[in-house]
Amino acid sequence: MALIVRYENSYDASVPNVSHLYVLNGVFRPTGHASSESDDVSFVPFPFLKQDFPEIGAAIRMLQEPLVVRAGLTLSQEKVTLTDPAFFSVFKFPLLAGDSSTALDGPGKVVISTDMARKYFGTEQALAKRLRIDNGQTEAIVSGILAQHDVHRLVCITGMGAGDSRGHGGFLYDCLFLPLMLRKVYEDKDRQEEAIRASALDWTIARADVADFVVQQLIADTWLRKAPLITW
């Protein structure tokens, strides 16, 4: 239990000032039905937040959408976050290039990661280059490059039958359930494991939903850069 609490308290610890960041959820209470909570919150009350709660230092809206991004002949779908100009006053992520105080101060500006810079432009020196997002009529100017977080350890849960664990689940699982019912899911898991193995991270791939094992790997290196199959 102590390890789980430790893990929960470390969640998003790489985000600067994370202890002062809060997500606004909405609670819906329809007449005659049980109430429900959702992170899908209307933007309507946004202008009144700081007015009603003066303790709030800054508030921003965020909406993540899968959109097509293009630069020259390079085209791909990316998770694009639409947000307000004050984004960097809330999330104080360091920039490798650009000025966080002006990076999002107007339309047509976009901040990208170093990985995206290399992907679309072949270099991290992508400041002032142009991207076309969602087949828009105008191009967005790269106004900032996010510095990489100093994260090296990755513990990932996939499943039995992914990667080199294929063929170890028994006849029914390997010959019936996996190919007929889980094929698409495990194709994604295979791609996930390939990407992890190709990375420079200190990774461990766990092929079972075993919380204690996963938490232990955050403080141990017994299974560093290995993919154990856990059974019970």
Q: What is the mean pLDDT of the chain?
A: 82
The ranges assigned to domains in the chain are: 62-146, 153-217
pTM above 0.85?
Answer: no
Measure the CA–CA gap between 156 and 194, rounded to whole angstroms: 12
Mean pLDDT, range 103-120, rounded to an integer? 92
Q: What is the tens place of the pLDDT at every residue in 124-157?
A: 889 999 999 987 778 999 999 998 766 677 877 7
The per-residue pLDDT for range 179-230, each reduced to its tens digit, is 777 777 778 888 888 888 887 778 888 765 566 676 677 777 777 888 776 6
pLDDT at 120 over 70: yes
